[in-house]
């Protein structure tokens, strides 16, 4: 195994995260960002309506001033040539073995003045999701999250807020068992994940993290891509599946959800990326 992969694995084990620089080459990242922003603008209204509907049920979702869209891979594949980048694949395979699957391809645009989000871990550890592993959880990494920096991430524009080492705790502030930690307040050891456009923050989904405020005068643009082992049941995140209906619709809950990949989008993916989406392709017609 090469030195960079060994280092990345050690960091994810020990610190809960690592930052991989230059995943998207610097001379290509502007084009990728333009394609993602353009796709997001085309679907923005529907996303805002979805979020409003979940808030109307009394659930906490999203942050004011953050425009997000689920399943952006259906609307642009501009970033797809780098989804199977060797460092990301090496780390995913080291934790999960072969047959890694992509479980999420969203985008987020944090606009100037956007607020701070609450401390949470990602699905299936986020306790506010209708489908989640209840706390206290065993010490197991089940899902890897990545945040792709399509603009530079800085403390000013809001590099993702992290609590290093928090991935080994038995819970996170989205649960009520964390000894009264205020999920909306700054945490003493928090820090911003920063990097230049084209870098990827890769973290254990248990990691406590929060949407940062954007105090700059420009959008902070990112992709959220998650990698799951073949044995993690993703069905509760598939709208229309029996599990999603039982656990989310019938409980009036909120969940992390991911639209199926259209056959047209799937056909446009590079050959080395297709196997990671194959489980989520919608039926033809």
Contacting residues toward ligand AKG, per CB under 6 A: 108, 110, 117, 122, 147, 160, 209, 211-212, 222, 224
Q: Which of 94, 98, 83, 215 is nearest to 158 (CA)?
A: 215
CB of 72 to ligand AKG, least distance (A): 13
CB of 19 to ligand AKG, least distance (A): 13
Nearer to ligand AKG among residue 60 and residue 274 (C-beta): 60
CB of 258 to ligand AKG, least distance (A): 13
Nearer to ligand AKG among residue 117 and residue 229 (C-beta): 117
In contact, 197 and 33? CB cutoff 8 Å:
yes
- Taking CB atoms, the residue at the shortest distance from ligand AKG is 160
CB of 80 to ligand AKG, least distance (A): 19
CB of 263 to ligand AKG, least distance (A): 27
CB of 283 to ligand AKG, least distance (A): 28
CA 64 to chain centre: 18
Nearer to ligand AKG among residue 92 and residue 110 (C-beta): 110
DSSP string, the chain: --HHHHHHHHHHHHTSEEEETTSS-TTTHHHHHHHHHHHHHHHHHHHHHHHHHHHHTT---S-TTEEEES-GGGT--TTGGGTT-HHHHHHHHHHH-S--EEEEEEEEEE-TT------B--TTS-TTSSS-PPSSPPS----EEEEEESS-B-TTTTPPEE-TTGGGSS--TTSS-STT--TTS--TT-EE--B-TT-EEEEETTS-EEPPP--SSS-EEEEEEEEE-TTS--GGGSTTSHHHIIIIITTT------PPBPHHHHHTS-TTTHHHHGGGBPPP-
Nearer to ligand AKG among residue 95 and residue 118 (C-beta): 118
For residue 213, what are its two tokens?
């405020």
Nearer to ligand AKG among residue 195 and residue 212 (C-beta): 212
Nearer to ligand AKG among residue 122 and residue 260 (C-beta): 122
CB of 267 to ligand AKG, least distance (A): 28
Nearer to ligand AKG among residue 47 and residue 110 (C-beta): 110
């Amino acid at each position: 195994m090469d030195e960079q992969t060994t280092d990345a694995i050690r960091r994810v084990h020990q610190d809960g995260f690592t930052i991989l620089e230059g995943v998207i080459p610097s001379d290509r990242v502007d084009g990728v960002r333009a394609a993602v922003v353009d796709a997001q603008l085309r679907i923005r209204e529907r996303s805002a309506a979805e979020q409003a509907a979940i808030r109307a049920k009394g659930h906490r979702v999203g942050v004011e001033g953050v425009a997000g869209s689920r399943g952006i891979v259906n609307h642009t594949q501009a970033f797809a040539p780098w989804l199977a980048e060797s460092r990301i694949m090496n780390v995913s395979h080291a934790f999960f073995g072969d047959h890694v699957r992509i479980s999420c391809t969203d985008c987020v645009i944090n606009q100037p003045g956007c607020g701070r989000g609450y401390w949470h871990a990602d699905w299936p550890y986020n306790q506010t999701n209708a489908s989640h592993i209840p706390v206290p959880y065993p010490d197991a990494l089940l899902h890897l999250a990545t945040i792709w920096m399509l603009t530079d991430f800085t403390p000013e524009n809001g590099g993702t807020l992290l609590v290093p080492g928090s991935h080994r705790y038995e819970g996170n502030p989205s649960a009520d068992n964390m000894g009264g930690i205020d999920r909306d307040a700054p945490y003493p050891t928090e820090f911003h994940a920063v990097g230049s456009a084209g870098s990827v923050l890769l973290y254990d989904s248990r990691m406590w993290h929060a949407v940062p405020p954007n105090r700059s005068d420009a959008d902070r643009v990112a992709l959220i891509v998650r990698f799951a082992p073949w044995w993690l049941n993703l069905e509760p995140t598939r709208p229309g599946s029996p599990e999603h209906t039982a656990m989310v619709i019938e409980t009036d809950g909120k969940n992390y959800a991911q639209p199926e990949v259209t056959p047209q989008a799937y056909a446009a993916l590079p050959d080395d990326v297709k196997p990671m989406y194959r489980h989520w392709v919608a039926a033809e017609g």
